[in-house]
Amino acid sequence: MKKARANSTLSDVAKAAGVSASTASRALNGLAQKYRISEATEQLVKQSAERLGFRPSQVARSLRLQRTGLLGIVVPDLSNPFFSAIAREVTVAAGEEGFSAIIADSDGSVEKERELIEQMEARNVESLVVCPIGLDFAHLEAAASRGLPLVTVDRCQANSSLVQVTSDHLTGAHQAIELLIENGHQRIGILQGLHGTLPSERRLKGVREALAVAGIDYDQKLVAGDSFTQESGYCSARQLLTESPDLTALFAMSTPNAFGAFRAASELGRKIPENLSLICFDDVAFVEFMQVPLTTIAQNVPELGRRAALLATEQMQSGKSPRTKMHKVPIKLIQRASVGKVPPL
Amino acid sequence: MKKARANSTLSDVAKAAGVSASTASRALNGLAQKYRISEATEQLVKQSAERLGFRPSQVARSLRLQRTGLLGIVVPDLSNPFFSAIAREVTVAAGEEGFSAIIADSDGSVEKERELIEQMEARNVESLVVCPIGLDFAHLEAAASRGLPLVTVDRCQANSSLVQVTSDHLTGAHQAIELLIENGHQRIGILQGLHGTLPSERRLKGVREALAVAGIDYDQKLVAGDSFTQESGYCSARQLLTESPDLTALFAMSTPNAFGAFRAASELGRKIPENLSLICFDDVAFVEFMQVPLTTIAQNVPELGRRAALLATEQMQSGKSPRTKMHKVPIKLIQRASVGKVPPL
DNA sequence: CTGAAAGCGCTAACAC
DNA sequence: GTGTTAGCGCTTTCAG
């Protein structure tokens, strides 16, 4: 490998051009006009910079300007398509606003989330987008009250003063159940996500509302599960389908939940959609290429990310928190093949 | 929002403790022993720091130490599970080595990739992991020769002096074809990825080798496609299946390709695996929850990421490039349900 | 039109 | 044991 020649500095450029560092700085930062630097000098400086392959040190710049141009992202699992899609939107939106994104994976641990946020603060990120692991928000509130523009995405909290962006879970669940009912389903099993998280709670509320409208009793026996994972979906679907064989439909609160349900159903000899309907929240690209394409309540994931990034950068630029704290993004029911009419008995 | 109170600085802490900045710095950096700072002073400093909520500025530190502790990651599409899985491993491995990861999405554009790498260099990342878009490596070579420890993942280049980590594509493709042949398939369609990329070329070579071993002629007519996308898979599968209806198996070079093939097959009335076998490269979590679980050549994606991160950080710490440039990580054939015996005619 | 000097927050060599 | 000083690379008053 070639010798790691240190990048040349501004004063190198200045020296090469035979001017002072200040002049060089001004010429390179497009302030020639303002300072009425002679055309000749300006060109000379620019050429020297070019020739030396000068790249200004962002570190020095950050220190001087007290602006890092860094935006932090913390997600619970970057290998989960839902979160990586959010991360993607945030990074590109940040990039468009002139920021670089620094990312970290909390691996589903509140403790790690806390540490990572500490680290990011130490790095002087100018704002932070976090998809919280979901239960404890104290450290987030703390960071925000320290003046760090922070926005949470997805797993929000109802009674929080944080800026939050999440889907319209209630309406989504309501529509899901409505669709099932329209198709004649009366006995509907619910595969629940992590208790205590807003998405899970709101979706459950949506379920109850839709059931109430249709005059169907909400049966606690028909809801199971406590995590958005595939394993949880599998176990609870198995349990529900075994204990209540008269179920004709399943509402899964996440795609992994739905995958689990799929497996359980096939093990128990139920065919989707022939004698079991399945609808789920979240819509990942793959879902449509399953042999039985899933009918889903699609969250507008890119929009979640984009909005979060925008709220974060705005907040940072204006220096004040937006009036609206809770930002709901609409969901969309996508009908594919996994919901069928209840078979006439 | 509360007033954005600037974080307190080292000299604030020093003042509060009634000592000089140097002493404070030493006490806080665990150098008390080395400098024989009195127990009392040390505690005093630490308490003051605690009380003021002092968090050392990484920016100032970076400038002084000429070390940012930053590792850059550039991927073509963070919403693609393959790349996000790599990104995840890189960020966590980096974290374990005490680095923060700064990430960017090149959105499949070489131009953008070039710009992003520039930006990262300006931010003084200490090393860089890039999943190149695949064709032009000049800017990567340039960055590396400037002394930046850089490692490329996945789409590598055969005759490059860069440090690269990629799967054993040749063996993988060889095994895929072998499996098909063992199952009686003789007419095998190939759904190809982006031409000119090492993964695609090596896999094609593997195909030819396996075919040769079995004494089957390589038929140029049976290979189609020019991208790892789902659309490409769909179009080329349709084309192949239409022009050569005697095909009994398809080898797809990516999961998206396979999804496309799935759709094409079902539109053309072919059933997998009954009268069409399908095997594909890459193994994403979903693949096993498809109603017909896909038989795949699984890349060890986490390992790709981990190795890359390690090579990057090692290189940076030792200051020299590793002897081995090309790092191949083994693949694994995972048999599921999408490959069947060729039906006796 | 340009330069000198100060300083962002930190650490380390060199005093004493 | 602890303080003083210099300086990382940059921008920006303030002078001229």
> What is the maximum alpha-carbon separation in chain A?
93
CB neighbourhood size of A267 (10 A): 12
| Residue–nucleotide distance: B30 CA to C15 C1' (Å) | 22
Cβ B60–A56 below 8 Å, yes or no? no
Contacts with B262 from chain A: Cβ below 8 Å: 289, 291
Q: Is the sign of the CA dihedral B293, B299, B300, B305 positive or negative?
A: negative
Characterize the bridge pairing of strands B100-105 and A100-105. Answer: antiparallel
Cut 0.75: pTM above it: yes
State the average pLDDT for chain A. Answer: 91
Q: Which B-chain residues 241-270 have CB contacts (< 8 A) with chain A?
A: 259, 262-263, 266
| Residue–nucleotide distance: A14 CA to C6 C1' (Å) | 19
Residue A22, CB, less than 7 Å from strand C? yes
Q: Which B-chain residues 270-289 have CB contacts (< 8 A) with chain A?
A: 284, 286, 289
3-state secondary structure of B156: coil
Asked if B239 contacts B224 with a C-beta cutoff of 8 angstroms, the reply is yes
- What stretches in chain B show pLDDT beneath 70? 1-6, 289, 291, 344-345
Measure the CA angle with vertex A140, ends A135 and A142; round to 5°: 125
Measure the CA angle with vertex B327, ends B321 and B332; round to 5°: 160
Q: B10-56 and B68-167+301-330 share one CATH topology?
A: no
Residue B4, CB, less than 7 Å from strand C? no
Residue A66, CB, less than 7 Å from strand C? yes
Could you read off the pLDDT of A239-264 as tens digits, one per residue? 999 999 999 999 999 988 998 998 89
| Residue–nucleotide distance: B121 CA to D6 C1' (Å) | 27
- Look up residue B100 and give its two tokens: 């923060």
B6 exposure class (CB count in 10 Å sphere: 0-12, 13-18, 19+): exposed
Could you read off the pLDDT of A162-183 as tens digits, one per residue? 999 999 999 999 999 999 999 9
CB neighbourhood size of A263 (10 A): 18
Contacts with B58 from chain A: Cβ below 8 Å: 122-124
**What is the Cα–Cα distance from B236 to B256, expressed in whole angstroms?**
12
Residue A37, CB, less than 7 Å from strand C? yes
Cβ B4–A60 below 8 Å, yes or no? no
- Look up residue A67 and give its two tokens: 């602006």
| Residue–nucleotide distance: A270 CA to C14 C1' (Å) | 81
Could you read off the pLDDT of B149-167 as tens digits, one per residue? 999 999 988 888 899 999 9
pLDDT, position B126: 95
| Residue–nucleotide distance: A66 CA to C8 C1' (Å) | 7
Q: Mean pLDDT across the stretch A310-316?
A: 91
- Look up residue B333 and give its two tokens: 């054939």
Residue A35, CB, less than 7 Å from strand C? yes
B57, B78, B290: residue with CB nearest A290: B290
B29 touches chain A (CB under 8 A): no
Q: Mean pLDDT across the stretch A270-275?
A: 92
Q: Would you identify the CATH topology of the domain A10-56?
A: 434 Repressor (Amino-terminal Domain) (1.10.260)
Contacts with B55 from chain A: Cβ below 8 Å: 118, 121-122
pLDDT, position A5: 46
Element at B223 (helix H, strand E) = strand B223-224
**What is the Cα–Cα distance from B111 to B53, expressed in whole angstroms?**
43
**What is the Cα–Cα distance from A266 to A264, expressed in whole angstroms?**
6
**Pairs of residues, one from chain A and one from chain B, whose beta carbons lie less than 8 Å apart:** 161
pLDDT, position B318: 83
CB neighbourhood size of B62 (10 A): 23
Residue B58, CB, less than 7 Å from strand C? no
A29 exposure class (CB count in 10 Å sphere: 0-12, 13-18, 19+): exposed
Give the count of alpha carbons within 13 A of A237, CB side only. 34
**Domain-by-domain residue ranges, chain A?**
10-56, 68-167+301-330, 169-299
Cβ B291–A292 below 8 Å, yes or no? yes
Contacts with A117 from chain B: Cβ below 8 Å: none
Q: Which nucleotide is nearest to A45 (CA to C1')?
A: C2
- The answer to whether residue A291 scores a pLDDT higher than 90 is no
Q: At what angle do helices A39-52 and A10-17 cross, to 10 degrees?
A: 130
3-state secondary structure of B119: helix
**What is the Cα–Cα distance from B304 to B301, expressed in whole angstroms?**
5
A56, A88, A319: residue with CB nearest B79: A88
A87 touches chain B (CB under 8 A): yes
| Residue–nucleotide distance: B116 CA to C10 C1' (Å) | 29
Closest-CA residue of chain B to A142: B2
CATH 3.40.30.10 fits B169-299, yes or no: no
Q: Would you identify the CATH topology of the domain A68-167+301-330?
A: Rossmann fold (3.40.50)
